[in-house]
Amino acid sequence: MVLFLSSTIYAQDLVEDVTVRGTFVQGKRVYKLYYCASCYEGGIQLTLYTDSSYFYKLIGTGHKQISEGKWTRNKKDFILNSRIKQHGVPIKIDGVSYGSDLGGITSRKTPFIIPFNLNGEKIYDARVFINNDSTFCFPYFDTCVGKYKSIDSIKVNFGKGFTTQWIPFVWPQARYVKVTAMMDFSFEEYVVFENKKYTPTTSLKLISE
């Protein structure tokens, strides 16, 4: 489905597409699907699923936003909270000794290779902080700032304001460390919803960011 809207996409009310209610989209049953019916330069779509998950997509001229997470409902409002938090990005830590993940490099100065997301896309802006907020490695430049004797915990800053929490670190049985952000969207596109509220009337109205 391709949806179009004007440059005032953020202020537009959304209407329900009742034809998809109860059908399956991305393998999940649709509870309600809302979109902008009066817009022309992009698209916006909010899909609420019966398993209480949601998927939100906004496309404008040169701009894209994606969010996914869980929705709840009070007496009248839909409340959306994204799965990925600004300072709580889930990650997976693996060991790497050689192979394509090293980009053909046989050795590195830093123990961390460039992090990836679940799509296999490298996150070039990522920095890995070690034990404290003043010691970190910048895998893209294969360099570290500050000194450390051992690694007890790490925090990954992916750029765009997204970080992990401090995570206890156990060295994998390999020479290098690979960090994977457990999301299949780019941080440039992802938008965090925290108690974002919509009120359904004759249309779906955004009442709080």
The pLDDT tens digits for 36-93 are 866 656 688 999 999 999 999 988 777 789 999 999 999 889 999 999 999 999 999 9
Confidence band, pLDDT 50/70/90 cuts, at residue 174:
confident
Number of H helices, E strands in the chain: 0, 18
User: What confidence score (pLDDT) does residue 202 get?
Assistant: 61
CB burial string 165-191: b at 16+ within 10 A, e below: eeeebeeeeeebbbbbbebebbbeebe
Q: Give CATH 2.60.40 domain extents, the chain.
A: 91-181
CATH of domain 91-181: 2.60.40
In 3D space, the residue among 82, 86, 75, 74 whose CA is nearest the CA of residue 56 turns out to be 82
User: What confidence score (pLDDT) does residue 99 get?
Assistant: 56
Q: How many residues does the chain have?
A: 209
Average pLDDT for the chain: 86
Token digits of residue 180: 């994977």
Token digits of residue 124: 């070039």
Whether pTM exceeds 0.85? no
Q: How far apart are CA 163 and CA 116, in angstroms?
A: 14
User: What confidence score (pLDDT) does residue 200 get?
Assistant: 83
One-letter identity of residue 41: E
User: What confidence score (pLDDT) does residue 3 get?
Assistant: 34
User: What confidence score (pLDDT) does residue 100 get?
Assistant: 55
Q: Looking at the predicted structure, is the pLDDT value of residue 199 above 60? A: yes
* 118-150 tens-digit pLDDT: 999 999 999 999 999 999 999 999 999 999 999
Q: Looking at the predicted structure, is the pLDDT value of residue 2 above 80? A: no
Does residue 156 sit in helix, strand or coil?
strand
If one compares 118 and 106, the residue with the highest pLDDT of the two is: 118
Q: Give CATH 2.40.128 domain extents, the chain.
A: 9-84+190-208
CATH of domain 9-84+190-208: 2.40.128
Cβ atoms of 181 and 189 within 8 Å: the answer is: no
Cβ atoms of 147 and 160 within 8 Å: the answer is: no
